[in-house]
Amino acid sequence: MANDVVVGFVGLGTMGGKMATNLLKAGYQVVVHDLHRQSAGHHLQAGAEWADTPRALAERSDVIFTSLPEPSDVERVSLGADGLIEGVRKGAAYFDLSTNSQSVVKKIHEAFAARGAHMLDAPVSGGPSGAASRKMAIWVGGDKAAYDRHKAVLDAMGDRPSYIGPIGTATVAKLVHNMSGYAITCALAETFTMGVKAGMDPVALWEAVRQGVVGRRLTFDGLLDQFLPGKYDPPNFALKLATKDVALATALGRELGVPMRICNLAHAEMTEACNRGWEGRDSRSVMLLQQERAGVKIAADPEHVKQAAERAKSG
Tell me which residues are annotated as active site. Answer: 174
Instruction: Report residue 153: phi and psi, to 5°.
Output: -70, -40
Please give the single-letter amino acid code of residue 54.
P
Task: For the beta carbon of residue 220, count every other beta carbon within 10 angstroms.
Answer: 12
Q: Please count the helices (runs of H) and the strands (runs of E) in the chain.
A: 15, 9
Closest of 42, 31, 40 to residue 5, by C-alpha: 31
Cα four-point dihedral sign 236, 237, 240, 246: negative
Residues near 105 by Cβ (< 8 Å), separated by ≥ 6?
Answer: 96, 119, 121, 141, 167, 168, 171
Is residue 207 classed as helix, strand or coil in its secondary structure?
Answer: helix
Element (H, E) at 165: strand 160-165
Q: Closest Cα partner for 124 from 91, 157, 148, 147?
A: 157
Phi, psi of 87 (to 5 degrees): -125, 0
